Amino acid sequence: MPEAVRTHEDVRRILADQISAGRLRPGQRLGAERALAAELGVSRAALRQALAVLEEGGLVRRVPGRGGGTFVSKGKIERDLSRVVGVPALLRSQGVVAGTRVLHPGELVIDLVRIRLADGSPFSVEHLMLPADRFPGLLEMPLGGSVYELLAERYGTRPREAVERIEVISASPDEAMILDVVVGAPLLSITRTTTDTQDEPFEFSHDLFRGDRTRIVVRTPGKGSATRASRGRGQVIELRAQAAP
């Protein structure tokens, strides 16, 4: 027999404990409300209250419609702005399986658009531009991994410093479709210019990160500086980061 549950707070605590312990996994769909309420021994009204609190805290997300339901949220990826690091290395350092879909490689000026995957689901969209004459043959190489690692291994080019401008924007219909979020969902828009060890700029990129899966951090004092400027309804943050030694 299920243990009697008196309040929505009891339900919230039980579900939160199951998520924390890994019994409910990221991306897992919870059962139908009627069955879940019966399993927990609580009214559907109390269950809905508990789910609303869990959603507000980021532990679950509720998707309306026939194919919707309540899903366990996926953990956020920490983006440390003190270091210049590619997305695959960033994901690997946090135990997430990195993946890529190449959308569009260009010519002359190398113009590369890629979807980055975290544990199989869309995490970010990268639009990367590089000088083609400096990196001949790059488009013929495997482009699913870290471009930084590829440039270092094949061309001896390593980043020394990156200047990034960060802004929270709303997902357009196309961006929402690519990143599997609702239209208007918050995205982190990061525009970056990177210089090499000779202080020559070699990269300009524009990345979009899912706001529900990304947390911006600056861990190492003295390695980067940031300025903030108001723009419209939000803020723009400009950060200068040094490459890790």
Helices (H), the chain: 8-21, 33-40, 44-56, 87-93, 147-155, 173-179
Instruction: State pTM to two decimals.
Output: 0.61
Region of 199 (left: φ > 0; alpha: ψ -120 to 50; beta: rest) is: left
Q: Give the pLDDT band (50/70/90) at residue 43.
A: confident
**Terminal CA-to-CA distance of the chain, rounded, Å?**
59
Check if the beta carbon of residue 29 is closer than 8 Å to that of residue 23. Answer: no
Share of the chain above pLDDT 70, in %: 81
pLDDT value at residue 95: 63
Spatial distance between the Cα atoms of 189 and 79, rounded to a whole number of angstroms: 13
Interaxial angle between packed helices 33-40 and 44-56, expressed in degrees from 0 to 180 and rounded to the nearest 10: 100
pLDDT tens digits, one per residue of 214-230 = 887 765 544 555 554 43
pLDDT higher than 50, residue 1: no
pLDDT tens digits, one per residue of 87-140 = 777 777 766 667 776 666 665 789 999 999 988 889 999 999 999 899 999 988
Most confident of 51-65, 84-98, 126-140, 230-244: 126-140
